[in-house]
Amino acid sequence: MGKPKKKDLPDLSHLCVPGAEIAVRAAPKAARNAIVQAEGMLKISVTAAPENGKATEAIRSLLAVAMGTAAANLELRRGATSRSKVFVYTGPA
């Protein structure tokens, strides 16, 4: 997976609030990496396959780039093997 360009992603820096839960609907094995805001959740498409957590890690890193933070600041709360996931921002304000 190539490193996503910040200009191709929406600005999600407003989600960088400690303890904020971010609902995500995952779409693995997509044609390209993308983030779309829809109905109170984010639809994130990644090219990674959903095996051994590769798609979840790709989603975490793509979301971190869009938020302008490190991937280590995003903790997976629910949905390790599900398409519906919830990440929590644990970084600084």
Q: What is the pLDDT of residues 8-19, one digit of tens each?
A: 799 999 999 999
Low-confidence stretches of the chain (pLDDT beneath 70): 1-7
Phi first, then psi: what are they for 92, rounded to 5°? -70, 160
What per-residue confidence (pLDDT) applies to 39?
84
pLDDT of residue 74: 97
pLDDT for the residue numbered 6? 66
Length of the chain counted residue by residue: 93
CA 29, CA 22: separation in Å to the nearest integer? 21
pLDDT of residue 75: 97
- pLDDT attached to residue 4: 59
